[in-house]
Structure 1
Amino acid sequence: MPFHLTPEQKTRFEEDGCLVIKGFIPKPITQQLLDRSKELLRDFSLEGHPLTVFSTSAEEKHVGDDYFLSSGDKIRFFFEQKAFTDGKLNRPKELAINKIGHSLHTEDEAFKDFTLHNEDIRNLAKELDFHQDPRVIQSMIICKQKEVGGAVNSHDDSTFLYSNPLSALGFWFALEDATPTNGCLSFVPGSHKINKIHSRLERVEGGGTEIRKIPLKEGEEEVKLPDWDGEGIDWVAAPCEAGDLVLIHGSVIHRSEANLSQKSRFIYTFHMIEGSAEWDEKNWLQPTPGVPFTKLYG
């Protein structure tokens, strides 16, 4: 049967900014996507790879080398920080990758077919009515490798995928079980209603990226936001079984813990924005003539 969003699910997403939809992907397709993810890890070459590490630690400068900045229309591989000892890999390459991105939805046939030709995804997007003309702008496999899978600090996606007006929406698919022990998502329900996007990840002149303050408009006052990791903030865990989907509003605060367990936590995620929204040259992610942002309903 084709998927249909219930009124209760739509209301829950609007209220919480995050919604788990159980069993969205049939098990055979979930397994196919997981198998394809592992094929990509097995088959990529280390020859000439800059060994770019992806980290969201507050103490680390955000990744911004050319390998990262030019990945918007390619499939590239980014390493876990803890997969290195004294500058050398301390485990096989297929167990050392943090994520694969950022254009699986255009450059890999399995993920392209799943993302752009899936009637259930199209039905969900239409019934959610978040976008009138949804455009897929990036897609990733996040591996959360056993023992070394890094934590993802509390954040919102709009800071990294900034449009005017704000319009980021994430589709997050569990390809393996995501549990509290291997780094499942947690979020702050309703945070998208009070969160003020005050900064954005920008390309820096001369190369690299930096999170910079968004200038206030005339007459606008800076809003003091809660310490999302402080006392009194109600975080809710969102454990998932393989095949579940999590919808994530671009302004909702979410995070995931490090994976120190013996089980990996593979997921596939893509993000969309509104086709009519302004996307400027300051953003780290840029469409190219060969791979423009992709219409979901095209």
Structure 2
Amino acid sequence: MGIIGNLTPDQLHFFNSQGYVVIESFASPQEIDGMIKRMDHLLLHFDFDLSTSSVFSTKDQQKRTDNYFYESAENISFFFEEKAFGDDGNLKQPKELSINKVGHALHEIDPVFKKFSCSEKVSSLFFSLGYKRPIIIQSMYIFKQPGIGGEVVPHQDNSFLYTEPQTCTGLWLALEDATIVNGCLWAITGSHKNGLVRRFIRGEDGVYFDRPSPTYQQKDFVPIEVQAGSLVVIHGDLIHQSFENQSPKSRHAYSLHVVDTDGCKWAQENWIRRKVEPEPLYVS
């Protein structure tokens, strides 16, 4: 189809050796502003019921996963921070400062996020990574709210979005500057070479990990501090995390996860079980 890969040989080498690569100025100021303003609009019109609100937690995913979460695979759904609620069960701050993330089909349903997600530069990036028939399997707008932005524990994306063979790659776009202070990404460089540690399985009685998490040493992680507009490309087996945001500044990001469907099988045990197959970004 004539797409020219936009990763240079040096960037590909860095990605293959380190498990991630940063592309600065991937999104323009206009694109960033458009996505932030669009999310402001979505939040403004988000009407919620405290009795049925869904909370997102990477520390307790098995307990927190419910039908609302399952159905979010093909919807635009809102998930609150664990620390957003007081002892009385009410929000401690306005709803727009209480949301952990919005997902998981922004890229399909919302025109602003779809335009960026399906842009030629995103398609071109995956073409340069060797994808044949890539699909976006999920998207997330992540807030990392001031003071209460929750920790994301060490994990690998392939654990949740497993294909045979494994093909998941994550795109993490900084919509605001991401620093050590406000909860940037951290990664164990080169850890993708050690393979997949465990899988997140959806069974008849809910979801569970097929084995316990290893213990990681914090000294092995390096921070990935980036400016707004920078894109972090993440190998599906890279071990990465982020800490709580205890600062007064938010750390908004837009994340996509892509898998290949050419000669690759989507695992039925994954938490995402779509009713409608996603359209590919392209077919090479």
TM bin (shorter chain): over 0.9
Aligned to 1:78: 79
Paired residues of 1:170 and 1:250 also in contact (CA < 8 A) = yes
1:294 match: secondary structure: coil
2:210 alignment partner AA: R
Among 38, 41, 65, which residue is 2:40 paired with? 38
Residues 198 and 62 of structure 1: CA distance in aligned 2, closer, same or farther (over 3 Å): farther
1:70 match: secondary structure: helix
Deviation, structure 1 residue 3? 7.9
For residues 11-43 of structure 1, the C-alpha deviation after alignment (integer angstroms, 9 at most, x for no partner) is 000100111111111111111111112221222
Deviation, structure 1 residue 227? 3.4
Aligned 1:35-184 pairs, distance under 5 A: 35-47=37-49, 50-57=52-59, 61-86=62-87, 87-116=89-118, 118-129=119-130, 131-184=131-184
Residues 60 and 108 of structure 1: CA distance in aligned 2, closer, same or farther (over 3 Å): closer
Q: Determine the C-alpha separation between the residues in 2 that align with 1:229 and 1:60.
A: 22
Aligned to 1:203: 202
Residues 175 and 245 of structure 1: CA distance in aligned 2, closer, same or farther (over 3 Å): same
Which has the larger helix fraction?
2
For residues 199-242 of structure 1, the C-alpha deviation after alignment (integer angstroms, 9 at most, x for no partner) is 21122314x3111249xxxxxxxxxx973236xx5311111111
Is residue 246 of structure 2 the alignment partner of residue 260 of structure 1? Answer: yes
Deviation, structure 1 residue 288? 1.4
Deviation, structure 1 residue 105? 0.7
For residues 170-225 of structure 1, the C-alpha deviation after alignment (integer angstroms, 9 at most, x for no partner) is 01111111111110001111100013x2421122314x3111249xxxxxxxxxx9
Deviation, structure 1 residue 60? 6.2
**Count of matched residue positions in the alignment of Structure 1 and Structure 2:** 278
Q: CA RMSD in A?
A: 2.0
46-55 or 240-249, which deviates more: 46-55
Paired residues of 1:84 and 1:90 also in contact (CA < 8 A) = yes
Deviation, structure 1 residue 293? 2.5
1:88 match: secondary structure: coil
Deviation, structure 1 residue 281? 2.4
Deviation, structure 1 residue 62? 4.7
Aligned to 2:26: 24
Ranges in structure 1 where 5+ consecutive residues have no aligned partner: 215-224
Ranges in structure 2 where 5+ consecutive residues have no aligned partner: none
Is residue 210 of structure 2 the alignment partner of residue 212 of structure 1? Answer: yes
Paired residues of 1:137 and 1:294 also in contact (CA < 8 A) = no
Q: TM-score, normalised by structure 2?
A: 0.92
Q: Determine the C-alpha separation between the residues in 2 that align with 1:47 and 1:202.
A: 29
Paired residues of 2:5 and 2:126 also in contact (CA < 8 A) = no
Q: Determine the C-alpha separation between the residues in 2 that align with 1:63 and 1:203.
A: 13
1:100 match: secondary structure: strand
| Runs of 4+ displaced beyond 4 Å | none
Deviation, structure 1 residue 49? 6.8
2:254 alignment partner AA: Y
Q: TM-score, normalised by structure 1?
A: 0.88
2:52 alignment partner AA: P
